[in-house]
Amino acid sequence: MSGAHDKNPVYPDEQGNIKKFEITYDQYRKRICKYLSLKVNPMVADDLTQQVFLKAIENIHTFKENSSLFTWIFKIAQNIAKNEFRSLSRKKEIPYDFTGYESQSISLDFAKNVEIRIDISSALKKLNELDQQVISLRFFVDCTLSEISKIVGMRESAVKNRLYRSLEKLRRELKEWGDIAIMSIQDMISIVNKSETNDMTVSLKKVHQDLFDELKDNVERITLKYKHQPSRKIIIEIYPDLPTFHQAVGEENAPNWFMGTFEENYLKIVSPLNPGPEHTYQSILKSTVHLFTMWLITDINPLAPKWARQGIGGYESKGMSEEFIKNSTLDTIHNLVIPSFQELNNDTWDFETMKGFQFSYLIVEFIVDKYGLDALNKVIRNPNGFNEIFQCSESELHEQWVEYVRNK
């Protein structure tokens, strides 16, 4: 979990050490605010959080040091939330209002490589109040099992069992990729070694795990951004070196920077253990994210232009630094020989010579900055709909983009 669960919490001594309490405020403020935003209107959560900590500092003399400071503060937050309900004259307390928490992602620390995506507004309504509370405290308020057990008054083992049962219930009742998705990255992606030996060395096992970790950190994020789930399982083929990879994909005379491609649902890459002179272990990992993104865009629309596929791939993988992009395109921009959108559909090795990777990235960055992610999603699905999407022609959009890159 991302929250700081300290073993030795800082709290004011008997004389009231305000400085130490400020540290406590910084440690716990976000978690208390998350809880209050679930319990009441998120618009007032910040103000109520301030009230919680003012109340805590006023009553710090009642805190028993043999208990958890967080759970003590949390009890204050619970009381303030109840008072808020009373002040609004609500007849019945609503345990959680999840309408503002759609498509939340949760990483389960007890299930390796597993992601759960919950559409909160519908999914958690299928659980009773206590199960809602346990799941919300665990994944949205970032509480430890020990903290939850103190808050709900149950043994830690009972909390853990309830958590598992609640997630299992959601898994059974909700369809895959609907309100909830529970799946392993291994269910989506397989890795195959294309070397002469099938022996898995320690180094190769590390490559597999590093690839899974890199994709796990990015696949769900990217599929959500571009509103598309893969239509089929993806197979990653790892080739032992550049010559073997180039021969396998029918490009024996390819340049050294060419380290990966995809055909149908196969992503083909050179091994990070032997990346060649133009790449490193880490850059191959990032390039795999680039390739997955390109494949996903093609899965959305096989007719998506090359600049969209390459640009979004580079934009999502962050394989090129801003400094590299700026320095490598400086002369081209200064001399006003910036390629057109059509020229960036070049499928030859000249694409790299014309700085196609960098300029495709800059087109995507420009569209997102000026028109938003929704416009980028629309242009993927309707590559010729410039007037409809941008309210201007292709040439006018190109002029806007050229002005954008000149002023960067």
Amino acid 41: pLDDT: 65
Max avg pLDDT among 85-89, 191-195, 339-343 = 339-343
Instruction: Indicate the residue among 174, 205, 232 that finishes a domain.
Output: 174
Q: How many domains does the structure of the chain reveal?
A: 4
| 393-to-84, 384, 396 alpha-carbon distances in Å | 53, 9, 5
Long-range CB contacts (within 8 A, 24+) of 198-203: 203/273
Confidence of residue 56 (pLDDT cuts 50, 70, 90): confident
Using alpha carbons only, what angle is made at residue 56 by residues 55 and 57, rounded to the nearest 5 degrees? 95
**Domain coverage including residue 138:** 104-174
Amino acid 45: pLDDT: 81
AA letter at 334? H
Asked if the model's pLDDT at residue 135 lies above 90, the reply is: no
- Position 327 in a domain: yes
State phi, psi for 116 to the nearest 5 degrees.
-120, 130
Residues whose CB is less than 8 angstroms from the CB of residue 212 and which lie 6 or more positions away in sequence, other chains included: 113, 185, 186, 189, 191
Confidence of residue 46 (pLDDT cuts 50, 70, 90): confident
Instruction: Indicate the residue among 154, 174, 194 that finishes a domain.
Output: 174
Euclidean distance between CA atoms 249 and 258, whole angstroms: 11
Task: Summarize pLDDT for 333-388 with one digit per residue, the tens.
Answer: 988 889 999 999 988 899 999 999 999 999 999 999 999 999 999 999 999 999 99
CATH code, 70:
1.10.1740.10
CATH code, 138:
1.10.10.10
Average pLDDT over residues 40-68: 81
Instruction: Indicate the residue among 278, 300, 322 that finishes a domain.
Output: 300
Max avg pLDDT among 49-53, 63-67, 298-302 = 298-302
Average pLDDT over residues 61-83: 82
- Which is more confidently placed, 376 or 213? 376
- Which is more confidently placed, 390 or 168? 390
Ramachandran area for residue 340 (φ above 0: left; ψ -120 to 50: alpha; else beta): beta
Q: Which of 181-185, 187-191, 207-211, 230-234 has the lowest mean pLDDT?
A: 181-185
Asked if the model's pLDDT at residue 62 lies above 90, the reply is: no
- Which is more confidently placed, 254 or 204? 254
